[in-house]
């Protein structure tokens, strides 16, 4: 895939000023999202996944500050003023949030919710916007779109609402879609439909950045994965590469904690001992070191930088044959922030 990156995030820091002092929610996060590609960001609650999105859209809470760079189609989003941001919001970047019932204004009809983005900007007349809304609802497989337009959010079921919210995010045909845990509030059968629709959005050429803690979602949809832990990206890899051979012990532990249909049904799931560190009191070295089985002394002393992992290059070549998500020519196939990555260790052994 040689497409240009739609979103280029470099060294993004997000800090929150609290009465107890500054709290670093996100530190030094860098990633690209390319057109027609789906990047998944996975991590535990509180690992800073959502704050990355919020920083890009200028939606941080008033005590939050973002530093670094986020280039969207050549425009810098970090530090941009409201007017500049409003040119990107909705039309450039769509946002699909976790809970559709709370993200759709309760007293407005679906029609208003869908059309206001276009009408308010003067991009379309009310009638044109209505036609576009019908089309958008049809795109997300909503039956009887005419009737839906007249309804209020509370009259629709959760799965339908999430599809309406997706239609709303797609009304202005954004080049990039942020999906913040879009399936967490839905039951499994509806999840699958929403994921199919997101895949459709990606296949039409938009970039999709999906945030989730469901590795099943990652496996089904994402082309590449970035694993976040304690505000940092600890590993980025192609999805197949990640599942086949995780480099970072945290990724490995995450994968081990996922139940599997195949294999030994009696096998116990392996939890990760301990809790993630508080954002205000992160250890100086690798944040995962206190919980890591493979930790050595250096781990708690110095924090490893994100480096390209040698072993994965071979693996990447193997993955390339399967046709799935080969990476751009010079981009690292995997990057990992660990003193003792798993695959490299295996090689040494």
Contacts with another protein by CB under 8 A lie at 57, 59, 62, 82, 85-91, 93-95, 97, 99, 102-108, 112, 116-117, 120-121, 143-144, 147-148, 150-152, 154-157, 159-160, 165, 168, 172
Least distance to another protein from the beta carbon of 254, Å?
27
Query: What residue has token string 């206001």?
Result: 116
Least distance to another protein from the beta carbon of 136, Å?
13
Adjacency order of strands within the sheet including 64-72: 21-34, 5-18, 64-72, 75-76
- Measured at the CA of 240, the angle between CA 235 and CA 245, to 5 degrees, comes to 60
With respect to another protein, which residue has the nearer C-beta, 69 or 86? 86
Q: Which helix (H) or strand (E) holds 8?
A: strand 5-18
Least distance to another protein from the beta carbon of 208, Å?
15
Give me the residues paired with residue 5 across strands: 34
Least distance to another protein from the beta carbon of 104, Å?
6
> 158-170 and 126-139 helices cross at what angle (nearest 10)?
130
Contact 78, 70 (CB under 8 A): yes
With respect to another protein, which residue has the nearer C-beta, 59 or 255? 59
Buried b (16+ CB within 10 A) or exposed e, 289-322: bbbbebbeeebbeebbebeebebbeebbeebeee
With respect to another protein, which residue has the nearer C-beta, 122 or 271? 122
With respect to another protein, which residue has the nearer C-beta, 165 or 233? 165
As given in the structure block, the two tokens for residue 120 are 């308010």
Least distance to another protein from the beta carbon of 177, Å?
11
Give me the residues paired with residue 95 across strands: 178
**Phi, psi dihedrals of residue 231, rounded to the nearest 5°:** 85, 0
Least distance to another protein from the beta carbon of 11, Å?
24
Least distance to another protein from the beta carbon of 90, Å?
4
With respect to another protein, which residue has the nearer C-beta, 160 or 252? 160
Least distance to another protein from the beta carbon of 148, Å?
8
Q: Pairing mode, if any, of strands 307-308 and 334-336?
A: antiparallel
With respect to another protein, which residue has the nearer C-beta, 58 or 241? 58
Least distance to another protein from the beta carbon of 115, Å?
11
With respect to another protein, which residue has the nearer C-beta, 43 or 159? 159
Measured in whole angstroms, how far is the alpha carbon of residue 274 from the centre of its chain? 25
With respect to another protein, which residue has the nearer C-beta, 29 or 176? 176
End-to-end C-alpha distance for the chain, whole angstroms: 34
Q: Which helix (H) or strand (E) holds 228?
A: strand 224-229
- Length in residues, the chain: 349
Q: How are the residues of the chain apportioned to helix, strand and coil, as percentages rounded to the nearest 5?
A: 40, 20, 40
With respect to another protein, which residue has the nearer C-beta, 107 or 262? 107
- For residues 106 and 69, what is the distance between their CA atoms, to the nearest angstrom? 35
Q: Within a 10 A sphere around the Cβ of 129, how many other Cβ atoms? A: 22
């Amino acid at each position: 895939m040689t497409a240009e990156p739609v979103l280029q995030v470099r060294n993004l820091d997000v800090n929150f000023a609290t009465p107890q002092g500054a709290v670093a929610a996100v530190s030094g996060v860098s990633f690209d999202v390319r057109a027609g590609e789906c990047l998944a960001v996975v991590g535990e609650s509180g690992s800073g996944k959502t704050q990355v999105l919020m920083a890009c859209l200028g939606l941080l809470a008033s005590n939050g500050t973002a530093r670094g760079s986020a280039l969207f189609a050549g425009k810098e989003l970090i530090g941009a003023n409201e007017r500049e941001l409003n040119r990107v919001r909705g039309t450039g970047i769509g946002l699909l949030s976790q809970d559709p019932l709370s993200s759709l204004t309760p007293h407005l009809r679906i029609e208003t919710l869908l059309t206001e983005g276009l009408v308010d900007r003067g991009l379309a007349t009310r009638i044109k916007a209505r036609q576009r809304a019908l089309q958008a609802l049809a795109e997300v497989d909503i039956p009887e779109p005419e009737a839906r337009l007249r309804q209020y959010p509370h009259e629709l079921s959760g799965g339908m609402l999430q599809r309406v919210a997706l239609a709303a995010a797609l009304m202005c045909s954004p080049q990039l879609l942020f999906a913040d845990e879009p399936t967490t509030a839905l039951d499994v059968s509806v999840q699958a439909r929403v994921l199919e629709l997101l895949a459709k959005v990606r296949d039409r050429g938009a970039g999709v950045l999906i945030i989730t803690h469901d590795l099943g979602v990652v496996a089904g949809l994402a082309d590449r994965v970035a694993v976040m832990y304690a505000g940092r990206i600890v590993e980025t890899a192609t999805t197949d590469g990640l599942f086949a051979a995780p480099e970072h012990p945290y990724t490995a532990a995450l994968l081990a904690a996922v139940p599997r249909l195949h294999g030994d049904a009696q096998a116990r799931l392996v939890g990760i001992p301990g809790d993630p560190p508080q954002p205000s009191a992160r250890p100086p070295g690798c944040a995962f070191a206190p919980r890591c089985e493979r930790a050595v002394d250096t781990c708690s002393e110095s924090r490893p930088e994100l480096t390209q992992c040698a072993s994965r290059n071979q693996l990447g070549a193997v993955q390339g044959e399967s046709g799935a998500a080969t990476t751009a020519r010079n981009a690292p196939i995997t990057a990992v922030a660990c003193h003792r990555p798993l695959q490299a260790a295996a090689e040494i052994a």
